[in-house]
Every structure is written in C-alpha cells, then in structure tokens.
Chains A and B, each alone.
Chain A
C-alpha cells in the first residue's frame, strides 16, 4: 500500500468492553511496531514484530493487551476489558527491517474509554 493504514481512526467504547485495533503495514515491510501515546506524552512501546521471529511483547502493560500478526501483513491489537486509563492514541509503524531504515507511521487510532 501507499502507507501504513490504521483503523478505526477513532473509537469510543464503554469501560469493560473489548476493542480491536487494526494496522495494515506497507507491503514488504518485515517489521511492525505498536506504540501507545497518552495526551501530551511520548510514545510508549508496546510490541514489536520482526518477520517470523517471536514478537517482543515486553512493552505490553498488562495481560489485557495482546497483538497478533499474520506473516508480514496485517496486525491487530486487542485490548480486553478496557479501562479509562487505556484512553490514548495507538500508533502503528512499519519498517523494511534489517539494519534500520526509517519507520513509517500510521495516523493512529484515538481510543476513548468512557
């Protein structure tokens, strides 16, 4: 694709509901990242996929958070039993992998838990 695509762009959900966020990386990009950004804050690393290697899940804040990626394509980030503190913008990025080139970011999903 032309760029990294994230959907939905905005999501309002009730506390306790599950949500699923989607990221379509640039075709051929082997590495995919998820970050969380609270209002006025920096990027908080969540999870990293690199090709067929086991993902680096070290940034996931709790077992309510999980992410999947099929091969080198779409990734979904799932948040179960959402809490108000989960409200943030969730950003996805992809790179060609290897010895690092620039990361291309999607426009993010703004999640609001009410």
Chain B
C-alpha cells in the first residue's frame, strides 16, 4: 500500500503560531497533494508537489517533499482560527493509479 500517514493525528495551537503536519508514505509516487476538510464534508485541494520538486509555496502554505525518506510536511504560517480543519495528504503512483489518502491531522487554532 502506498497509503499516506499524517502525523500528528491532532494538533492544537494558538492563533498566530505556525502549524506543521507531516505525511509519510510507502511506495514511489508521481506526486503528493494536501487537502483540507471542514466539518466532515468535501475536501478542498491546497497544493500539489511533484516527485521531482522539493519545496513549494502557496500563500501561507509551505510544502516540502523528501522522496528519499518518503515524507512530506505541510507548514501553515501565522495560523488563523479559520485554519481549523482536518488536513489530509494524498499520494498516487501515476497514470491509472488511484489516490490514497491518509487518516488526516485535525488542526485546532485557538483564538
């Protein structure tokens, strides 16, 4: 299985602090994506990083990828209460392969 596993399972921080979540996976991937889920409904895509990339930024988000360690991290800087959500990483091994999601990290940002 190439399942991603997020770590920690739950994270609680104060508004303004940075939040770091990690994802590990088992097999070679084509790319890795991070998603956010509010209130247990649809997921929203945050960022995609390809296997030949090491770091990517999008606004307050920074994603790193270390293919040698089969791991990725998502950093949210200057967190806000609205960032409270569950965050999932998803991996795929390429064309014709399905996405596999990890169990997620539940982030709580306290005002």
Contact = CB atoms under 8 A, between A and B. Distances in A.
Interface of A: 4, 33, 35, 37, 39, 41-43, 45, 48, 50, 53, 56, 89, 91, 93, 97-108
Contacts of B101: 35, 42-43, 45
A105 B40 CA distance: 12
Contacts of B44: 105
Given A39-B40, A42-B88, A91-B42, A103 B99 contact: yes
Given A91-B43, A99-B30, A100-B95, 15 more contacts: A33-B98, A33-B99, A41-B103, A45-B98, A45-B99, A48-B98, A99-B95, A102-B48, A103-B43, A103-B45, A103-B99, A105-B35, A105-B43, A106-B42, A108-B40
Interface string B12-46: 00000000000000000011010100001111110
A100 B92 contact: yes
Contacts, number: 65
Q: Is the interface of A mostly helix, strand, loop or mixed?
A: loop
B104 A42 contact: yes
A39 B100 CA distance: 18
Contacts of A97: 95
Contacts of A37: 40
B67 to A, nearest CB: 16
Interface residues of B, number: 24
Nearest to B46: A102
The 4 closest A-B pairs by CB, nearest first: A42-B103, A102-B45, A48-B98, A105-B42
A33 B35 CA distance: 15
Nearest to A55: B98
Contacts of B88: 42-43
